[in-house]
């Protein structure tokens, strides 16, 4: 089976004047198959956001290749990149900041649809449908980001990500800024979406909470200082950690 996403040798070196070069991501590689949910865990500062920002091309990689559905997107720009964004979407770490404070949630969710040539009326209907799918009411389309709670905002962000019916959904710590009960609600929503979309939707789930990953993912990568130190089925990794860092990470939770 062809992977939805294939990453080879991905590296990011940050260079700043007057400072030694800093390797935030160091030659990592992995594959994500259709319908799979892959977890990426690691402590704060281990380079998780850097990895996904390179995959979504918000950040240029220093080295390596990113293949989305077999197509090399590492150096795409302009039109080609916009086409890639129809296949790949992201839910950001901070829900409230990921919506323009001066636009309604409906505007934000419908933006990609409008950009892909959908009419205003159709967009409005589709936005209402997406909001309902994500457990909100169509009435939320006219609200501004500061008028909704964090959990509701994250639901809207998921609705926005699903608008173009992507094959790959990246959740960058989509639950970290929410409290525990809302975390479970969002996770339940993501589980529903997975069941509903089946092999049409693959998820890259970034998290620093190993318990959430165990509950949600079929495979997990452990990132430590920009390197993948361990990978496998979550239960395996948790019960029989091979790497000293993973062992410490698990001990700190249990």
Partner 1 sequence: MTAMREPTVRIQKIRKDTVRTRLIIFGALALILLLCSVFCEHLTPYDPYLQDLKNAKAPPSPEHLFGTDRYGRDMLSRVIVGSRTSIFSTLLLVGIVTALGTMVGVFCGWHGKWIDTVLMRISDMFLAFPGLVFAMAVAGVLGGGLQNAIIALVAISWPKYARIARSQTLAQKETPYLNAARLSGSGTWKMIFKHILPNIIGPILVTSMLDIGTMMMELAGLSFLGLGAKPPTAEWGSMMSDARSLLSSVPWVTLAPGFAIFVSVMIFNLLGDTIRDYADPKSRGR
Ligand X SMILES: Nc1ncnc2c1ncn2[C@@H]1O[C@H](COP(=O)(O)OP(=O)(O)OP(=O)(O)O)[C@@H](O)[C@H]1O
Of residues 20, 44, 239, 254, which one binds ligand X by CB under 6 A? Answer: 44
Name the one range near ligand X by CB under 6 A: 48-56, 83-91, 121-129, 179-187: 48-56
CB of residue 169 to partner 1, shortest distance in Å:
11
Q: In whole angstroms, what is the distance from residue 196 CA to residue 139 CA?
A: 24
- H runs (alpha helix) in 163-202: 180-197
Is the CB of 92 or the CB of 140 nearer to Mg ion? 92
Least distance between ligand X and beta carbon 92 (Å): 11
Q: Which of residues 12-31 bind ligand X (CB under 6 A)?
A: 14, 22, 24
Q: Are 122 and 60 in contact (CB under 8 A)?
A: no
Q: Order of strands across the sheet with 71-72? A: 22-32, 5-14, 63-68, 71-72
Q: Which of these segments, 42-50, 77-85, 157-165, 184-192, binds ligand X (CB under 6 A)?
A: 42-50
Pick the closer one to Mg ion by CB: 128 or 206: 206
Which of 50, 61, 74, 98: binder of partner 1 (CB under 8 A)?
Answer: 98
Half-sphere exposure (Cβ direction) of 242: Cα atoms closer than 13 Å: 10
- From 25, 24, 31, select the one nearest 8 (Cα to Cα): 31
Counting contacts by CB under 5 A, is residue 49 touching Mg ion? yes
Whose tokens are 């590689």? That residue is: 29
Q: How far is the CB of 102 from partner 1 (least distance, A)?
A: 5
Binding flag, residue 98, Mg ion (CB under 5 A): no
Tokens representing 11 are 């590296």
Name the β-bridge partners of 231.
221
Chain residues in the site for Mg ion (CB under 5 A)? 49
């Amino acid at each position: 089976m062809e992977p939805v996403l294939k990453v080879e040798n991905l590296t990011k070196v940050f260079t700043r004047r007057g400072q030694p070069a800093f390797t935030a991501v160091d030659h990592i590689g992995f594959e994500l198959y259709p319908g799979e949910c892959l977890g990426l865990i690691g402590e704060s500062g281990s380079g998780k956001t850097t990895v996904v920002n390179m995959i979504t091309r918000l950040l240029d990689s220093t080295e390596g290749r990113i293949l989305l559905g077999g197509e090399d997107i590492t150096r795409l720009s302009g039109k080609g990149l916009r086409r890639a964004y129809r296949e790949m979407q992201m839910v950001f770490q901070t829900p409230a900041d990921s919506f323009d404070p001066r636009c309604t949630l409906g505007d934000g969710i419908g933006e990609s649809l409008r950009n892909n040539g959908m009419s205003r009326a159709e967009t409005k209907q589709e936005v209402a449908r997406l909001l309902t799918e994500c457990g909100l009411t169509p009435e939320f389309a006219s609200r501004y980001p500061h008028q909704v709670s964090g959990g509701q905002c994250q639901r809207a962000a998921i609705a926005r990500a699903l608008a173009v019916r992507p094959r790959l959904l990246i959740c960058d710590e989509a639950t970290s800024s929410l409290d525990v009960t809302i975390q479970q609600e969002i996770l339940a929503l993501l589980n529903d979406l997975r069941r509903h979309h089946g092999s049409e939707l693959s998820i890259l789930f970034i998290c620093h909470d190993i318990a959430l990953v165990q509950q949600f993912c079929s495979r997990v990568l452990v990132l430590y200082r920009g390197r993948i130190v361990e990978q496998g089925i979550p239960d395996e990794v948790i019960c029989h950690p091979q790497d000293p860092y993973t062992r410490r990470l698990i001990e700190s939770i249990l």
